[in-house]
Structure 1
């Protein structure tokens, strides 16, 4: 599983790339009058703001627990990530749709289109480097899963957002390059407007996918299914435990809370049972370093026919 340092590297790569691309796109948009290029410039500027928000959210998540927040501030990064999705939707997507609709009613031809083409090619190269850096970290985390399976099951919200942004940026640049090229060849600015609209739709779709994933984490998701299966296997193999009635987990940013209800084996004294539980919890946190909070309830039955180890 990739750690927070891996996410930070991906974010800093993306921030540097997007700021350089924003400056190049802005100059090209002013020189050419391209709506698609202006939409892409705004998109890159929004991405820079998004990465700053992510960095701020990750810093907030490191704050220690307090009486008002006994489980810490780990989920703060989900709130800031959701704001990133909203910015991608509004500043990126909606502005691009507005600019595209405006350009549909304009007959003004592109000025110096070769400048736009050169900037877009440069941007694709730089964004490709950023995407590669992100994929290196994603591949560390996804294992044998496909990218789609990883995207749907991961709890690393920072990588989800950066991956979605980089993917949208690369596809948006491809749309912009195609639109400017066709408009340049045909001399018809209509295609530039079409490219701008396509970029807007793309950003809105990506923002929706990101927001759906972040929403699940905001509500309160468990750890990813593979980690939960490993935890179940660990508890089943412990000699101190006769039966696991229930295992609840909650992802708190990079931290995890675990609640276990189990029947202990062959120990009748309270002190002996406490020693057993402490041994299990120590080994659990050693095997799963992301577990920061653990609560263990010994019992002699599950107390509810509807409960079980998979609840």
Structure 2
């Protein structure tokens, strides 16, 4: 697994700050509910990115007596907070704003200005999403984005990518809503656009929160890393059989617990030296493996899992 990806977060923060300023100005000038919902969304995204940067800093805290494996998983907590903010501040507020305007039939003035701002926002959001995709492709060049979304252990990058995709789709909805309002003169389209943006944000927030929740509960290393570690250990000449292999993602690092039957050694010291060699070689081959717990044992047919 790669280091955390603050570069993608900085891309998103810069883009969303510029977008939020433009959208608020356009919302005030036009009275568009869809535009105001988009402005709130971009502001929430700026706060979310600041939270992720803070979470990355906290996750780098060294191990101590209270947290002997370090604080790497703290980033998952902040990623979950971001998903909740995206749901309630971005999504639920947009739905409320749209419903309020729909009941009061508030008009939209100067829709052309709103359309221009939305077009500029699309360009900036595309810049942010392109930065996130570049970071994704560094670690997963052959995966589809959906497969990466389901399998990644990089919670901060998952949140940024989810926000960017939601933002682009939300801009498309807002653009269509304002355009229909301009063509028909009916402000209900604008209100419906605000509701549509809100529903979209809540769906994306739910999907992101579901993935982050799984990380908080405790996920193994990604499937390809887990498979590679298992193959590496099975190829070791010192190991006769892998009895149990557990991997646990701990922020950007991985914890590995191995129970294995070794070949016969003349002494306990020779076995210890062999285990140390196995552990050192594993950490050289997989730099993300910070901790290795190796237990020599004799295989017994009790149905132990061969990998987990």
Please, what TM-score do these two structures have when normalized by structure 1?
Answer: 0.97
Select the residue among 274, 292, 307 that pairs with 2:304.
Answer: 307
Distance 1:19 1:132 in 2: 17
Select the residue among 55, 58, 62 that pairs with 2:56.
Answer: 58
Partner SS for 1:295 = strand
**1:283 corresponds to:** 281
**2:174 corresponds to:** 176
Select the residue among 78, 97, 119 that pairs with 2:76.
Answer: 78
**2:291 corresponds to:** 293
Contact 1:2 1:137 in 2 (8 A): no
- 1:279, distance to aligned residue in structure 2 (A): 0.5
Partner SS for 2:271 = helix
Please, what TM-score do these two structures have when normalized by structure 2?
Answer: 0.98
Distance 2:145 2:115 in 1: 30
- 1:113, distance to aligned residue in structure 2 (A): 1.0
**1:226 corresponds to:** 224
Contact 2:2 2:252 in 1 (8 A): no
Distance 1:106 1:287 in 2: 64
Partner SS for 1:105 = helix
User: Following superposition of structure 1 onto structure 2, how do residues 54-203 of structure 1 map, counting pairs within 5 Å?
Assistant: 54-203=52-201
Distance 1:108 1:157 in 2: 40
Partner SS for 1:307 = coil
Partner SS for 1:238 = coil
Contact 2:87 2:205 in 1 (8 A): yes
How many residues matched? 308
- 1:215, distance to aligned residue in structure 2 (A): 0.3
Partner SS for 1:95 = helix
Distance 1:47 1:141 in 2: 24
Contact 2:83 2:209 in 1 (8 A): yes
258-267 vs 85-94, which moves further = 258-267
- 1:142, distance to aligned residue in structure 2 (A): 2.0
Partner SS for 2:104 = coil
Q: Are residues 270 and 207 of structure 1, via their aligned partners in 2, closer, same or farther at CA, if it must alter by over 3 Å?
A: same
- 1:301, distance to aligned residue in structure 2 (A): 2.0
- 1:163, distance to aligned residue in structure 2 (A): 0.6
- 1:310, distance to aligned residue in structure 2 (A): 1.7
Distance 1:266 1:149 in 2: 43
Distance 2:140 2:124 in 1: 24
**2:267 corresponds to:** 269
Task: Give structure 1 regions of 4+ aligned residues with deviation exceeding 6 angstroms.
Answer: none
Distance 1:33 1:133 in 2: 32
Distance 1:293 1:192 in 2: 54
**1:217 corresponds to:** 215
